Amino acid sequence: MELSQDPIGNPAEAPKLPIRGWLLLIVLWLGVIDPLYSLALNGFFAARWEALGREIGATFWAPILAREAARIFAALLLWFRRNSLAVWIVVAIVWLSGPAFVFATSTTQVMPDALVRSTAVALVLTGYLLRSERVRATYNFRIKS
């Protein structure tokens, strides 16, 4: 099957496939559900700590907001960009904002449950993004071997 070409001979872009199913759930989780959950949970803890007399400031909120901004960016990338680079960037963001973030922010206390949980989520998301037929079709994604 030959792709159509534009007037100057460049191949036309394939039509954008809709994002649905598990891929839609991933986009919603990264862009809406996880940020709202994280902000609510951390806001609850910040309120509790402030009630105990601890001051909560930018050092508390900055890494959390950066993490959630990165995840929202990943969701927007999956929603608007339909190329394989978007998938690779999202995989990197998932690992950096998940296990790497938990490990880096656990300097004051050991959080093995959070590290295990974030690693499990990152493994599942990575596995899906790298192996899914829907991702291959939607993003023209191929792993070169």
For residue 37 the two structure tokens come to: 């959950």
Q: What's the one-letter identity of residue 69?
A: A
**DSSP H helical segments within 2-57, as ranges?**
22-28, 34-51
- Is-contact 75 30, C-beta < 8 A? yes
Please give the pLDDT value at position 2: 46
Please give the pLDDT value at position 90: 97
Please give the pLDDT value at position 59: 86
**Chunked in runs of 10, what are the mean pLDDT values of the chain (145 residues)?**
48 70 96 96 91 88 95 97 94 96 77 88 97 93 80
- Is-contact 89 101, C-beta < 8 A? no
